[in-house]
Structure 1
């Protein structure tokens, strides 16, 4: 009998949780992760053991959206820096500084696209009359995977260039001299408040039933 696969879209408030992945010290009496709570819920529906759970969180594959409230900026400069950051680069300068003694990680990443479009506040505009006097922008970063804080630092660089605190040469220097200690102090790290996972993309064959060739990728 073939194994069935299910895709769950889960939204949650993580203030009382310790990340997405199940922690080693967790047990049924005290679950502190999203994975642990999901596993507990699935076992209530069907007591048999769960074969495997896979999670995509904010630092995994997908599109990430950051809602920003910005003062006036140069749209042409913003477009230029978006194109500069797209593609495959060593983003070590955009990663969070590792703790002393930690093992360096691979910092080569690909940003497929960065788009900045007029947006809307996350809350109902009728809740605050000031919303009608403000302009919101959505920054969408699309990539296969990201380093810790890479998206927030990327947006900080975009804003810095658009507002004239940084120039394209400064950004090119970050890419040409990748180092976790090479961050430009003129660039601020975007706040986490408006950051969320917008979408996760999977190849069609991931959801194909065993023996079903309809979802298989074409042979090279």
Structure 2
């Protein structure tokens, strides 16, 4: 039995989120509509002796993308000691995803110690939220999100806002309130929906708002010229359910003068009496990308056998 770390990318538009649905009548039934489920289906094609269970590091919602997510899996297979086995798995899994028309790609597979855990060993996670704000010089009679002009290259890859009222200085000021150890109770699901003992306290290491770039050069699509792109990047060890999308929603509301800076501070400093502000609408999932899950390099190194263990192993083979 050997444990492997998988790093992979995916477009979440056609997945029902990362976490698989368990069929209570047939617990071994596959779930190709989830990232976790289709990873397990691909691994089972190598016919391991055990039933592989993929443990994901980050359970992104439906519609959220990942430039790099990670997971671990334990495999009992005759070839696990072969040096080229990870490369063979990577090739086989990507070939399967291509044939299955799954928007998922394995970036790397490596053997790791049995003590490694994709979720609990993670030191931090970094998310990117992409915004496109209508330029002040443009005028669109946008009734709703479906009537604004969106470049096709950005479809379901960015959140487009057809309102040029966007104060970046206020956004950065509001973002500074999130930094550090805070209670994000107001930025996630109600307490009644959490398991007993669940904490909504999280430490945000960094949150930045910088000018972004379109995915395709504007010379190929003039609609890109209608917008200014902004990247919101946030890093922490872990996040509450929908926390990132709700933080972004509050930043957008602040930028458009729907919520005052003092109201944001109260949501963080006194969430018991200042819950979610209804003037902010949770940002859509398609603008969100998980870009990195970081680990301590030492946690990925398999300890070398001691001389005594090696000697015993050689003797057992000779006997």
Relative distance call for 1:6 and 1:95 in structure 2 (3 A) is: closer
Relative distance call for 1:123 and 1:189 in structure 2 (3 A) is: farther
How far apart are 1:56 and its partner, in Å? 2.3
TM, length-normalised to structure 2: 0.57
How far apart are 1:31 and its partner, in Å? 4.4
Counterpart pick for 1:149 among 242, 260, 283:
242
Q: Distance in 2 between matches of 1:62 and 1:136?
A: 23
Query: Retained in 2: the 8 A contact 1:65–1:195?
Result: yes
Q: Distance in 2 between matches of 1:53 and 1:86?
A: 32
**Unpaired segments ≥5 residues, structure 2:** 62-118, 134-163, 306-319
Q: Which residue of structure 1 lines up, in the alignment, with residue 45 of structure 2? A: 44
- The 10-residue stretch of structure 1 (144-153 or 33-42) with the greater mean CA deviation from structure 2: 33-42
Q: For 1:124-165, what per-residue CA distance to the aligned partner results, in whole angstroms no more than 9, with x for missing partners?
A: 645531112211111111111111121111011112222322
How far apart are 1:80 and its partner, in Å? 1.5
The two structures, once aligned, show a CA RMSD in angstroms of 3.0
Return the index of the structure with the highest Cα Rg: 2
Instruction: Establish whether residue 65 from structure 1 lines up as the match of residue 120 from structure 2.
Output: no
- The 10-residue stretch of structure 1 (195-204 or 120-129) with the greater mean CA deviation from structure 2: 120-129
Q: Which residue of structure 2 lines up, in the alignment, with residue 10 of structure 1? A: 9
Q: Which residue of structure 1 lines up, in the alignment, with residue 68 of structure 2? A: none
How far apart are 1:13 and its partner, in Å? 3.8
Q: Distance in 2 between matches of 1:89 and 1:100?
A: 20
Q: Name the structure where strand makes up a greater proportion of residues.
A: 2
Query: Retained in 1: the 8 A contact 2:202–2:238?
Result: yes
Aligned residues: 210
Q: Distance in 2 between matches of 1:100 and 1:145?
A: 18
Query: Retained in 1: the 8 A contact 2:126–2:292?
Result: yes
Counterpart pick for 1:166 among 255, 259, 269:
259
TM, length-normalised to structure 1: 0.80
Q: Secondary structure at the match of 1:200?
A: strand
Q: Secondary structure at the match of 2:41?
A: helix
